[in-house]
Amino acid sequence: MDRQDSIKVNVDGVRGFGLRNVSSHASISEMDDFDLSKLLDKPRLNIERKRSFDERSLSELSIGLTRGLENYESTYSPGRSVLDTPASSARNSFEPHPIVADAWEALRRSLVHFRDQPVGTIAAYDHASEEVLNYDQVFVRDFVPSALAFLMNGEPDIVKNFLLKTLQLQAWEKKIDRFKLGEGVMPASFKVLHDPVRKTDTIVADFGESAIGRVAPVDSGFWWIILLRAYTKSTGDLSLAEKPECQKGIKLIMTMCLSEGFDTFPTLLCADGCSMIDRRMGIYGYPIEIQALFFMSLRCALALLKHDEEGNEFIERIVKRLHALSYHMRSYFWLDFQQLNDIYRYKTEEYSHTAVNKFNVIPDSIPEWVFDFMPMRGGYFIGNVSPARMDFRWFALGNCIAILSCLATPEQASAIMDLIEERWEELVGEMPLKICYPAIESHEWRIVTGCDPKNTRWSYHNGGSWPVLLWFLTAACIKTGRIQIARRAIDLAESRLLKDGWPEYYDGTSGRYVGKQARKYQTWSIAGYLVSKMMLEDPSHLGMISLEVDKQMKPVMKRSSSWTC
Ligand code: GLC
């Protein structure tokens, strides 16, 4: 089938917009059991199909319960459906917003087929744009919201095809010039080439060897594991994850990120441009975006790995790493008013185990803006921590994933939401959501970005507003019981997205302008909106992308006493 044909079929397939009425999904209640102490002698996962959330997930979802009640926001309680929430009222009288149908149509138009099977969605379907670059490829990270939308709509096949196809690509030998990449690396993107004469389809993949700046995507492998769990959780079909090739795929990714070397931190050392922010933006080191995804994928791997001999070895290593990583992140990446004040008063040049200022951060390096930005109520995980360097910027994806994976404690999760509320103008403004805050300007921009004209202040990765981030925010809101925030954000997006042609990003301090070089009909902007709508409509979908609290994890210790444990 050539591309024209495949598009025709897709368009035909969207009559009625393919919006299925899926009221409930299987959920695997046992899958997220995260009792570290019992893990090694736990029997094989026992799968149970249930309607919607099981009681435990509902009660654990309600970490915002107390404040939710105080603040008139929606809450969840065991044994009931969602009470007094917009979702419940809408559930009985569900009338999709007019742009929902348009979004489904656009999403289906972006489908990519390999030998007649849908295997992904292209990054952008923007015919008006003069340069295609690689926006006609299936990006692993970009496909995640598409996959979630299809899963939520009861269409898991495309997700399964995608997972298997990318797994085959992982097995390729990957080289940049003469240098071979780790076996487990997953591609940033791939493209299906259709030969209409020979009637053959072939795939070309990019592991960083063609990417601008030659950056390898650290996030792709993590997203692959997270998506495999979402698929398994949503369908109840464990057979895919149990396939030997899938188990091997997980292990290859784990082997790469659990390997021991010179590191003194449990966080993962990364090059600049290794994630959604795939150009030089000063995120080299230990970026929060990657650390949060790393943590989440470790937990997902734990749920997916078989408990055979080899599996158990991995499980043991993962459990150890999770302990160290959560301790490190919760202690050293966390910033709130108190912590900021403590850092401001840090002594420097402390030698020995008793040091409070372990990384020798010089208080003078704290940027001015952060003193005004930090509210009395709220906090967040900062962008990066390494010797004498704290990147105080706020990053959306990392903080939302920290909530969804429970890297953030329940208190930290509420504080992150408090901060978003308190700093609404700065972080949401007129279009959810800023990718990071604040923008880098002038001399700092020259040094940090290498004078990147795409990443000028308040544009693109440098403080631009990305509609795709709406689904992360919505999921975090549901998890913390802050539905009202999600509704406000979705209303903002709805008022602009269709009218503006589903841009990739917006520019400006409040995200008012369609981005300078933003693609139109950017697939993840479209899918992200649909996922947000469906999750709000039926919050039980959240279980696909959210993990439950690990009751066994030790509470974080005070900085000054940490050296003893
Ligand atoms: C840009 C973005 C990247 C995205 C890709 C495809 O390179 O920076 O995050 O995956 O476009 O949309």
Q: Residue 393 is inside which H or E element, if any?
A: strand 389-395
What is the enclosing helix (H) or strand (E) of 334?
strand 334-336
HEC assignment per residue over 180-236 = ECCCCCCCCEEEEEEECCCCEEEEEEECCCCCCCCCCCHHHHHHHHHHHHHHHHHHC
Q: CB–CB of 470/490 below 8 Å?
A: yes
Q: Whose CA is nearest to atom 4 of ligand 1?
A: 276
> Which atom of ligand 1 approaches the CA of 134 most closely?
6
Q: State whether the beta carbon of 139 lies less than 6 angstroms from ligand 1.
A: yes
Q: Which of 129, 134, 278 maximizes ligand 1 atoms within 8 Å of its Cβ, making it the mutation to test the pocket?
A: 278
What is the structure's pLDDT at 559? Answer: 42
Query: Do the bridges between strand 111-114 and strand 334-336 make them parallel or antiparallel, or are there none, so unpaired?
Result: unpaired
> Is it the case that residue 376 has pLDDT exceeding 50?
yes
Distance from residue 514's CA to the centre of ligand 1 (Å): 16
Q: For residue 503, is pLDDT > 60?
A: yes
Region 106-115 average pLDDT:
97
Task: Please state, in angstroms and rounded to a whole number, the distance separating the CA atoms of residues 317 and 315.
Answer: 5
Q: How confident is the model at residue 552 (pLDDT cuts 50, 70, 90)?
A: low
Residue 497 pLDDT: 96
Task: Identify the pLDDT of residue 393.
Answer: 98
Rounded to an integer, the average pLDDT of 269-290 is: 96
What separation in Å is there between the alpha carbon of 227 and the centre of ligand 1?
18
**C-beta of 206 in contact with ligand 1 (< 6 A):** no
Indicate which residue's Cα is closest to atom 3 of ligand 1: 276
Asked whether residue 240 carries a pLDDT value surpassing 80, the answer given is yes
pLDDT value at residue 554:
52
Strands 436-437 and 506-507, how do they pair? unpaired
Q: What is the pLDDT, as a whole number, of residue 506?
A: 98
State if residue 519 touches ligand 1 by the CB under 6 angstroms criterion: no
Q: Look at 34-43, 199-208, 341-350 and tell me which has the smallest mean pLDDT.
A: 34-43
Nearest C-alpha to atom 2 of ligand 1 is from which residue?
Answer: 276
Note every long-range contact of 282-285, with CB atoms under 8 Å and residues 24 or more positions apart, other chains counting: 282/391, 282/440, 282/448, 282/449, 283/383, 283/384, 283/391, 285/384, 285/385, 285/386, 285/389, 285/391
pLDDT of 68 higher than 90: no
Would you place residue 507 in the very low, low, confident or very high pLDDT band (cuts 50, 70, 90)?
very high
The residue to which tokens 């921009």 are assigned:
445
pLDDT at 563 over 50: no
Q: What integer is the mean pLDDT of 366-376? A: 98
- Which tops the pLDDT comparison, 19 or 264? 264
Q: What whole-number distance in Å separates Cα of residue 245 and Cα of residue 167?
A: 8
